[in-house]
């Protein structure tokens, strides 16, 4: 079958669009603290239609939500990028849920919120590579994070329905942004406290424990003495009771 | 004389019998008694358990050599211990289960009852024992020679006294060590574990710093003991949120407050901080402290607030302690007041 002349043009056009788009994605950096005016304007529109009812038309805060002035692009990228925002229902804590916006829309809103006042920026790629000092990261994690998030980041309970979420499977970027912004009831670990290198080491530690199996055998979800005690009570003592019953029973 | 009357009064526990002794239940024959085939099967089962025991021992030896312990490789130790443990467990359980199964299925199981023997010694033996005591008393003169008897009592009373004195020397005298920490007027607050001093300007609102006193990292000995007493949590809250006692208002610096991290209940590190509620939660027994209100106890078994470290800022902008804690840190003890 003979190809139509315009088919080649269509193929070339599609090829250019796709490779160009792929190139744009591959070279995307997270360092843009101030977005282009067009991006900020796009973000402002998205903000007005999706966020303003709780956070105020200028991000100044309202009855339903806190002020976003000075929270920075990192905060928007974390909250919207993990699906916590837009919030679904009020409660002790917002849950992680399917993300409602595209990456581009999130960056546009982040650029708009960052344009309101200076705040923590979306972290640079070089601190998200998880190839830092795992030992140092582990020590920092145990001192600063493990009391809430558990020694291997399995998460834990707080007061009145609040909890520190598990950190397995959370992207490097979102871990970094959580440290630098302190979402919800988490305290802030600014760069003056834990330097970007420290944060990189902590991320490296978390990715290390996520990747390598526990040398202590089966972890039982790593949640510590409750699960381990329950296992021992049910299976350990159950086995002993079963043997005792067998010892005392007469043979048939 | 009935069987029961032979016992002395002290060992009579079953004279009153509200329910008649039903005696032994009728003997029931086991399948292995009735059928030779079942007996042969039981024999095989016991043998299989003993063979499992042999296999278990071999597995343990194989595991020991197949998974050698490598220095610094915890995974290797885990594999070694796992196979050794599985093998040894099978080895011992195989013998135990085999022996019990053997006894239950193949050894005679006729019920018999044995009467308890009489606890009282015979009259001759009792008389003989009394004779021995009397003879010894007469020969030694224990009753007759009062001087010897009384000085022996005295010696027995005095000989444990040196031991009591030695007990007092078992360890260093506690003294004031429980009441004092490393914090002195002017000691800088530094980061745990690096020991880098902290500037007040670095502590933004909502920030939490885990703090050790300056110089702790350089200690040659008793480092952990000192850290366990001196560990501090440093937080900055919006100054408007602080409910400060006017007498202690000078202990904080522009919303920056420092509290002992050692729980006043049983000494766990209290460090679960909720930024918006200002609650500080202890992970061990859920004692909750209100950081904005001088760490008042709002829930849980702790009985007193976490001690506050009075802080100030030096000429270079670094946070320093005004003094040591004004009360003892950690769990309460009987003479804790300073």
Q: Are A54 and A87 in contact (CB under 8 A)?
A: yes
Phi and psi of B303, rounded to 5°?
Answer: -105, -10
A19-49 burial: b if 16+ Cβ within 10 Å, else e: eeeeeeeeeeebebbebeeebbebbbebbee
Band (B165; pLDDT cuts 50, 70, 90) = confident
The predicted pLDDT at position B12 comes to 55
Rounded to a whole number of angstroms, the CA Rg of chain B reads 37
Alpha-carbon gap, residue A152 to B332, rounded angstroms: 32
Task: Mark yes or no for CB contact B30/A216 under 8 Å.
Answer: no
Task: Mark yes or no for CB contact B210/A144 under 8 Å.
Answer: yes
The predicted pLDDT at position B20 comes to 82
Neighbours of B292 (CB within 10 A): 21
> Would you say residue A217 lies in a domain?
no
CA of A40 vs chain B CAs: smallest distance (Å):
27
Q: How many structural domains are present in chain A? A: 3
- Picking from A95, A214, A198, A200, the residue whose alpha carbon sits closest to that of residue A150 is A214
Structure tokens at B69: 């312990």
Of the residues A86, A116, A146, the one at which a domain ends: A116
Stretches where chain A sits below pLDDT 50 are 1, 21-32
> Would you say residue A18 lies in a domain?
no
Task: Mark yes or no for CB contact B78/A215 under 8 Å.
Answer: yes
For the stretch B88-137, pLDDT in tens is 999 999 999 999 999 999 999 888 888 888 888 999 999 999 999 999 99
* A131 and A99 in a common domain: no
* A134 and A203 in a common domain: yes
The predicted pLDDT at position B334 comes to 84
Q: Does B209 touch chain A (CB under 8 A)?
A: yes
> Would you say residue A238 lies in a domain?
yes
* A133 and A59 in a common domain: no
Band (B1; pLDDT cuts 50, 70, 90) = very low
> Would you say residue A27 lies in a domain?
no
Alpha-carbon gap, residue B211 to B20, rounded angstroms: 75
Chain B residues with CB-CB distance to A179 below 8 A:
none
ipTM above 0.85, yes or no: no
CA of A42 vs chain B CAs: smallest distance (Å):
31
* A154 and A103 in a common domain: no
> Which site among B274, B277, B299 would you substitute to test the A interface, given the most A Cβ atoms closer than 10 Å to its Cβ?
B274
Q: Return the residue of A nearest to B104 by Cα.
A: A251
Of the residues A95, A116, A137, the one at which a domain ends: A116
B128 contacts: CB under 8 Å, gap ≥ 6: none
Alpha-carbon gap, residue A118 to A87, rounded angstroms: 24
Task: Mark yes or no for CB contact A188/B206 under 8 Å.
Answer: yes
The predicted pLDDT at position A159 comes to 87
**Could you tell me what percentage of chain A is helix, strand and coil, using 3-state DSSP and rounding each to the nearest 5?**
55, 0, 45
Chain B residues with CB-CB distance to A190 below 8 A:
202, 204, 207
Task: Mark yes or no for CB contact A159/B78 under 8 Å.
Answer: no
The predicted pLDDT at position B217 comes to 87
Q: What one-character-per-residue DSSP string does A158-222 give?
A: -STT-EEPP-TT--HHHHHHHHHH--TTSPB--TTTS-HHHHHHHHHHHHHHHHSPPTTS--GGG
Structure tokens at A71: 């929270």
The predicted pLDDT at position B170 comes to 81
> Would you say residue A3 lies in a domain?
no
Chain A residues with CB-CB distance to B271 below 8 A:
147
Q: Does B33 touch chain A (CB under 8 A)?
A: no
Q: Return the residue of A nearest to B76 by Cα.
A: A215
Q: Where are the beta strands (DSSP E) in A8-144?
A: none
The domain containing residue A198 runs over which residues?
125-212
Task: Mark yes or no for CB contact A217/B82 under 8 Å.
Answer: yes
For the stretch B5-20, pLDDT in tens is 555 555 555 566 788 8
- Only one residue has tokens 């005679």, namely B108
Task: Mark yes or no for CB contact B288/A159 under 8 Å.
Answer: yes
Rounded to a whole number of angstroms, the CA Rg of chain A reads 25
Alpha helices in B67-176 (DSSP H): 74-105, 123-140, 146-158, 161-167
* A132 and A88 in a common domain: no
> Would you say residue A42 lies in a domain?
yes
What's the number of CA atoms in the CB half-sphere (13 Å) around residue A77?
30
Task: Mark yes or no for CB contact A144/B208 under 8 Å.
Answer: yes
For the stretch B213-259, pLDDT in tens is 999 988 988 899 999 999 999 999 999 999 989 999 999 999 999 99
Please report the number of interchain residue pairs, chain A to chain B, with beta-carbon separation below 8 angstroms.
Answer: 83
Q: Does B30 touch chain A (CB under 8 A)?
A: yes
Of the residues A81, A116, A151, the one at which a domain ends: A116
B202-223 burial: b if 16+ Cβ within 10 Å, else e: bbeebbbbbbbbbebbeeeeee
Q: Domain B189-321 falls in which CATH fold?
A: Rieske Iron-sulfur Protein (2.102.10)
> Would you say residue A5 lies in a domain?
no
Judged by phi (left if over 0) then psi (alpha if -120 to 50, else beta), residue B323 lies in beta
What integer best gives the mean pLDDT of chain B? 90
Q: Higher confidence at residue B4 or residue B271?
A: B271
Q: Is A164 exposed, middle or buried (0-12, 13-18, 19+ CB in 10 A)?
A: buried
Q: Are A180 and A120 in contact (CB under 8 A)?
A: yes
* A46 and A87 in a common domain: yes
DSSP symbol at B308: B
Q: Are B206 and A182 in contact (CB under 8 A)?
A: yes
* A169 and A133 in a common domain: yes
* A130 and A203 in a common domain: yes
Q: What is the pTM of this model?
A: 0.75
* A112 and A171 in a common domain: no
Q: Which of B75-79, B88-92, B93-97, B316-320 has the lowest mean pLDDT?
A: B75-79
The predicted pLDDT at position A89 comes to 79
3-state secondary structure of B272: strand
Q: Return the residue of A nearest to B195 by Cα.
A: A193
Q: Are B328 and B306 in contact (CB under 8 A)?
A: no
Alpha-carbon gap, residue B279 to B292, rounded angstroms: 8
Assign residue A191 the CATH number of its domain.
Answer: 1.10.760.10
Nearest CB to A187: which of B78, B201, B206? B206
3-state secondary structure of B228: helix
Phi and psi of B139, rounded to 5°?
Answer: -70, -40
- Picking from A85, A35, A99, A73, the residue whose alpha carbon sits closest to that of residue A177 is A73
What's the number of CA atoms in the CB half-sphere (13 Å) around residue A179?
31
């Amino acid at each position: 079958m003979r190809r139509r002349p315009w088919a080649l043009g269509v193929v070339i056009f599609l090829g250019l669009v796709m490779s160009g788009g792929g190139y744009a994605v591959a070279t995307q950096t997270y360092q843009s603290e101030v977005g282009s005016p067009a991006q900020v304007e796009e973000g402002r529109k998205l903000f007005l239609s999706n966020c303003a009812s709780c956070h105020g038309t200028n991000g100044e805060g309202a009855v339903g939500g806190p002020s976003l002035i000075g929270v920075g692009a990192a905060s928007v990228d974390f909250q919207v990028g993990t699906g916590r925002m837009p919030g679904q229902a009020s409660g002790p804590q917002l849950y992680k849920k399917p993300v409602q916006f595209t990456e581009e829309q999130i960056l546009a809103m982040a650029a708009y919120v960052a344009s309101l006042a200076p705040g923590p920026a979306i972290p640079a790629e070089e601190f998200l590579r998880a190839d830092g000092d795992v030992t140092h990261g582990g020590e920092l994690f145990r001192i600063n994070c493990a009391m809430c998030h558990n020694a291997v980041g399995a998460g834990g309970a707080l007061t009145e329905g609040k909890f520190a979420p598990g950190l397995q499977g959370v992207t490097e970027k979102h871990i970094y942004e959580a440290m630098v912004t302190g979402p919800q009831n988490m305290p802030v670990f600014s760069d003056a406290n834990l330097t970007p290198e420290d944060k990189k080491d902590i991320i490296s530690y978390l990715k290390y424990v996520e990747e390598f199996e526990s040398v202590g055998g089966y972890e039982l979800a790593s949640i510590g003495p409750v699960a381990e005690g329950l296992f021992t009570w049910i299976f350990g003592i159950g086995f002993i009771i079963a043997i005792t019953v067998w010892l005392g029973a007469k043979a048939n | 004389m009935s069987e029961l009357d032979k016992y002395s009064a002290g060992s009579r526990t079953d004279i009153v019998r509200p329910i008649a002794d039903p005696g032994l239940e009728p003997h029931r024959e086991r399948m292995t008694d009735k059928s030779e085939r079942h007996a042969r099967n039981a024999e095989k089962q016991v043998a299989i358990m003993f063979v499992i025991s042999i296999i278990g021992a071999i597995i343990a030896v194989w595991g020991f050599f197949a998974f050698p312990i490598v220095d610094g490789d915890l995974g290797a130790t885990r594999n070694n211990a796992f196979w050794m443990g599985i093998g040894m467990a099978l080895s011992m359980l195989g013998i135990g289960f085999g022996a019990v199964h053997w006894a239950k299925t193949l050894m005679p199981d006729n019920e018999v009852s044995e009467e308890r023997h009489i606890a009282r010694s015979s009259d001759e033996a009792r008389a003989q024992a009394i004779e021995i005591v009397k003879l010894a008393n007469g020969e030694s003169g224990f009753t007759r020679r009062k001087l010897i008897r009384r000085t022996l009592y005295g010696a027995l009373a005095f000989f444990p006294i040196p031991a009591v004195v030695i007990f007092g020397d078992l360890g260093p005298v506690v003294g004031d060590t429980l009441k004092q920490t490393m914090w002195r007027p002017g000691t800088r607050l530094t980061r745990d574990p690096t020991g880098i001093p902290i500037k007040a300007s670095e502590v933004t609102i909502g920030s939490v710093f885990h703090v050790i006193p300056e110089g702790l990292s350089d200690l040659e000995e008793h480092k952990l003991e000192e850290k366990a007493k001196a560990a501090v949590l440093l937080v900055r809250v919006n100054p408007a949120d602080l409910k400060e006692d006017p007498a202690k208002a000078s202990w904080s610096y522009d919303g920056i407050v420092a509290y002992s991290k050692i729980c006043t209940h049983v000494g766990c590190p209290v460090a679960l901080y909720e930024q918006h509620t200002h609650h500080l939660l202890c992970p061990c027994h859920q004692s909750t402290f209100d950081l904005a209100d001088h760490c008042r106890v709002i829930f849980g078994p702790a009985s007193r607030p976490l001690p506050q470290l009075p802080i100030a800022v030096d000429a270079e902008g670094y946070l320093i302690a005004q003094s040591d804690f004004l009360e003892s840190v950690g769990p309460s003890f009987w003479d804790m007041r300073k």
